[in-house]
Every structure is written in structure tokens, then in C-alpha cells.
Amino acid sequence: MTLSTREAEIVLDRDFLELRHQILGVAATLDRIDRADGSVKGDPRMECVRRAFEILRSDDPGRAERIQMAFSREYEASWRA
């Protein structure tokens, strides 16, 4: 289902401040990591974060699902073992 322009504006009006809050929180966390001693270069979690940013930059639908998958592990049939 595609939202009309007016419906999209309503969603943006409703969610803008929360979206702004969440983006600022992400930026603050990244700033804290940058200022901390040591390095997270090569940490697979940061690679997940980078992939998530790439997904966010796209205009393709289904970003939430694709980001969830970027942070998910591959299924292992022997996970109970």
C-alpha cells in the first residue's frame, strides 16, 4: 500500500520529533565510541552498524526488515547442540 502525500505528511508530523531523538542518540553513541580509548576497527558489530546506515540511505521499501537481517545471525541447524 502506498501512502498519499497527505498521509505521508501526517506520519512525518506525528513521528518527526521521535525520529530526531533517535538519530541524535545514535550520533551521540558514535561520538562516545570515537572519544573512547582503544579502537573498534574490525569489530563485526560496527560492520553491522555501517550496513544499517547504508540501508537507511536507500529509498527502497522494507528498510526495517533489511536492517533487522543485517543485525541477525545466519540460521544454524545445529543451534541446539
Can you tell me the mean pLDDT for 4-26? 94
**Is 6 a domain residue?**
yes
47 and 25, same structural domain? Answer: no
Instruction: Please state the domain count of the chain.
Output: 2
pLDDT > 80? residue 10: yes
66 and 49, same structural domain? Answer: yes
Distances (CA, A) of 8 to 2, 33, 79: 9, 35, 42
**Is 11 a domain residue?**
yes
Can you tell me the mean pLDDT for 66-74? 93
Q: Determine if the pTM surpasses 0.85.
A: no
3 and 14, same structural domain? Answer: yes
48 and 30, same structural domain? Answer: no
The span from the first CA to the last CA of the chain, in angstroms, equals 42
**Is 80 a domain residue?**
no
pLDDT > 80? residue 61: yes
With pLDDT > 90 as the criterion, what percentage of the chain qualifies? 80
pLDDT at residue number 66:
96
pLDDT at residue number 34:
96
Name the residue range of residue 10's domain.
1-38
